Amino acid sequence: GHWVWTETSASTEHDPETGKPTHLFAVSRNITDRILYEQELKAAREHTIAADRAKSEFLAHMSHEIRTPLNAVIGFSEIMRNEIYGKLGDPRYVEFMDDIHDSGTHLLQLINDVLDLSKIEAGKFELLEDRFAIAVIAETACRIIRERARVKNITIESLMDNNLYVWCDRRIMTQVLLNILGNAVKFTPDSGHITLRSEICPAGDLKIHIADNGIGISEEDLAKVMEPFGQANHSSTMPANDSGAGLGLALSRSLMEQHDGTLEIASKLNEGTTVTLSLPAARVVEYQTPKLVAMRS
């Protein structure tokens, strides 16, 4: 014999005069298969959660082991390409050092993105928040990206309100803007234009619009680019080795969610893309008087 799971429903019939129960009706059915299926689903779900947690913890813990030697490669290549301790001789060596430095920097950024995404998934991501001028954060990101834009003769214009301050993690907000600006530069043709603009909505929340006149994204690809490692199909307009890892937008959305904000994309193929970052009113300080600053600090 063996144990089985059953589900039983019962009801009573009462004497109409005395109100006392006279009959008991019960129906039982075997639900063993359903219970076993539910147990299998629960075990599979727990196994998946444990595997995801182990993966995220592994990636988070290995950050030091990966980044320390990579920082050495980047640092020494920068010393050599600047010829701090003497000429390298053949100018091709300087070009090689440029390639090593740029490739190392790109790899470091990719590793940082993967590690940040893993920390978010593992629930171990922490913000270092303070009060910052959003225009200064935007200008920092623009300054970093302008050299890449200059190569393609792309103009970057910042129309951010200098009087707006937000409570945020400055490094993270800079990273979000860099990810979006990097995509804008990558997918905008030569002599294109990129604009950053801030907007305070009636409810008090802040929106930052980053618009370009690039190649755009088709409607069917919009959902895809918001997923980790998801990419739009730019095979006809972009080299295969220039498509990236597909982490930027997905990570940026997760980082905005850590700030209780959102990231939205509006795009038309061959017309351009606008990415809108939103921060809730609770994180926005419109700098007017020292008293207001003191209240929020």
Ordered by start, the domain boundaries in the chain are 1-125, 129-286
Give the C-alpha separation, 180 to 265, whole Å: 11
Give the C-alpha separation, 119 to 177, whole Å: 20
pLDDT: which is higher, 129 or 244: 129
Q: What number does CATH give the domain 129-286? A: 3.30.565.10
Of 191, 212, 230, nearest to 273 (Cα)?
A: 212
Of 279, 256, 264, nearest to 165 (Cα)?
A: 279
pLDDT digits (tens, 9 = 90+) for 78-91: 898 888 888 888 88
pTM for the model = 0.66
Length of the chain equals 297
CA atoms in the 13 A half-sphere facing the CB of 244: 27
User: Per DSSP, what are the bridge partners of residue 131?
Assistant: 167
User: Which residues, 6 or more positions from 117, have their beta carbon under 8 angstroms from its beta carbon?
Assistant: 228, 247, 250, 251, 254
Give the C-alpha separation, 205 to 262, whole Å: 11
pLDDT digits (tens, 9 = 90+) for 37-48: 999 999 999 998
Give the C-alpha separation, 265 to 94, whole Å: 40
- Name the amino acid, one letter, at 295: M
pLDDT digits (tens, 9 = 90+) for 135-167: 999 999 999 888 889 989 999 999 999 889 999
Of 200, 137, 147, 194, nearest to 171 (Cα)?
A: 137
* Residue 232 scores a pLDDT above 80: no
